[in-house]
Structure 1
Amino acid sequence: MTTIARSHAHRPDVAPQQEGQVVTPFARRALAVTRIGFGLTFLWAFLDKLLALGFSTGRDETGAVDRLGDAAWVNGGSPTEGFLTFGADGPFQGLYHDIAGAWWADTLFMVGLAGIGLALTLGIGMRLATAAGALLYVLMWTVVLPPENNPVLDDHLLGAATLVALGALGAGDTWGFGRAWARTSLVRRFPVLR
């Protein structure tokens, strides 16, 4: 088993694994595509809420696009108020109604979307990005308890599990800057930033 693991150590398309484990080049690329897809999803959510591009943010109650961009965060709109006010249900409804539109909730949410999105897209800071992304997904799951189509599972929990897997499998090393990032003095000093 040691021979198998060592024979792939020099290949840039195969990440170093524990002894006897080898992730194939196809699997590494599949993980990279998944990582980049999640990263772009977080970045898109950030941009849509920042600028009210008319997809999830910037539509009025009839579904028409608000051309003035009043809902844009840059124009004073709240990225959390609509979802937490009108989407919250279940045991945490009161909590989420209380924090809906709070400046600190808006700021944390937007910084989280941007940071997670950039880190996943670039393949850097995967430990923190996948942990923060998984936490954000679980929190969003708690907003809509119980889920509409299943008594327990929904896409938020599946997204959280996927992010945990991406972080555990070093998905930032393929088609990303994960390896170069890991060699920086900052990351060597604080490995949690890997």
Structure 2
Amino acid sequence: MTVPRRPGNLRDEAPPPSPLERGPSWPPPPAGPSWSPALRKPAVPSTTSGRSPGSLGWIFLWAFLDKTFGWGFATPAAKAWINGGSPTTGFLKGTGEHALGGFFGSLAGQAWVD
């Protein structure tokens, strides 16, 4: 004797598709006017998000090159790293009045810190 099954029983429904059957568009987008391919575009234009890391990298690269070669923007040629100057002295000597200022001031000018 078989037991009659009620409509809507989970055993009667088809199983969900396998990953191979799903395809690249699983789950399917919701139907109706609320979905549009334009909603998948990034909120920030690609030119802005592409230029930000590059410009930030240029700022740090310029500071490094100016301290190394003394191009005269913030470091005169006489105090350049290649002319025997210390790139960390000016920054670390200015910490004397802050917490741990004595410690950081003592690090300024040491070769292993530069």
What range is the shorter-chain TM-score in? Answer: 0.5 to 0.7
Matching residue of 1:23: 42
**Aligned with residue 61 of structure 2, among 38, 43, 57:** 43
User: Following superposition, which runs of at least 4 residues in structure 1 exceed 4 angstroms of deviation?
Assistant: none
Matching residue of 1:75: 83
Percent identity, please.
Answer: 37
RMSD: 2.8
Distance (Å, rounded) in 1 between the aligned partners of 2:40 and 2:110: 47
Distance (Å, rounded) in 2 between the aligned partners of 1:84 and 1:48: 18
Structure 1 residue 57 corresponds to structure 2 residue 75: yes
Structure 1 residue 92: deviation in Å?
2.3
Normalising by structure 1, report the TM-score. Answer: 0.36
Matching residue of 1:112: none
Structure 1 residue 48: deviation in Å?
0.5
Matching residue of 1:102: 110
Distance (Å, rounded) in 2 between the aligned partners of 1:55 and 1:45: 9
Normalising by structure 2, report the TM-score. Answer: 0.58
Distance (Å, rounded) in 2 between the aligned partners of 1:55 and 1:92: 30
Aligned pairs, number: 80
Q: Which runs of no fewer than 5 residues in structure 2 stay unpaired?
A: 1-26, 30-36
Note closer, same or farther for the CA distance 1:101–1:22 as it changes in structure 2 (3 Å cut): farther
Matching residue of 1:144: none
Note closer, same or farther for the CA distance 1:21–1:76 as it changes in structure 2 (3 Å cut): farther
Code of the aligned partner of 2:101: Q
Tell me the secondary structure at the aligned position of residue 90 of structure 1.
coil
Note closer, same or farther for the CA distance 1:3–1:74 as it changes in structure 2 (3 Å cut): farther
Distance (Å, rounded) in 1 between the aligned partners of 2:28 and 2:109: 56
Considering fraction of residues, name the structure with more helix: 1
Distance (Å, rounded) in 2 between the aligned partners of 1:22 and 1:92: 48
Higher alpha-carbon Rg: 2
Query: Which of the pair has the greater relative contact order for Cα pairs under 8 Å at 6+ separation?
Result: 1
Q: Which runs of no fewer than 5 residues in structure 1 stay unpaired?
A: 9-19, 59-68, 107-194
Code of the aligned partner of 1:98: S
Note closer, same or farther for the CA distance 1:78–1:25 as it changes in structure 2 (3 Å cut): same
Q: Counterparts in 2 of 1:97-176, with a 5 A limit? A: 97-106=105-114
Note closer, same or farther for the CA distance 1:97–1:30 as it changes in structure 2 (3 Å cut): same
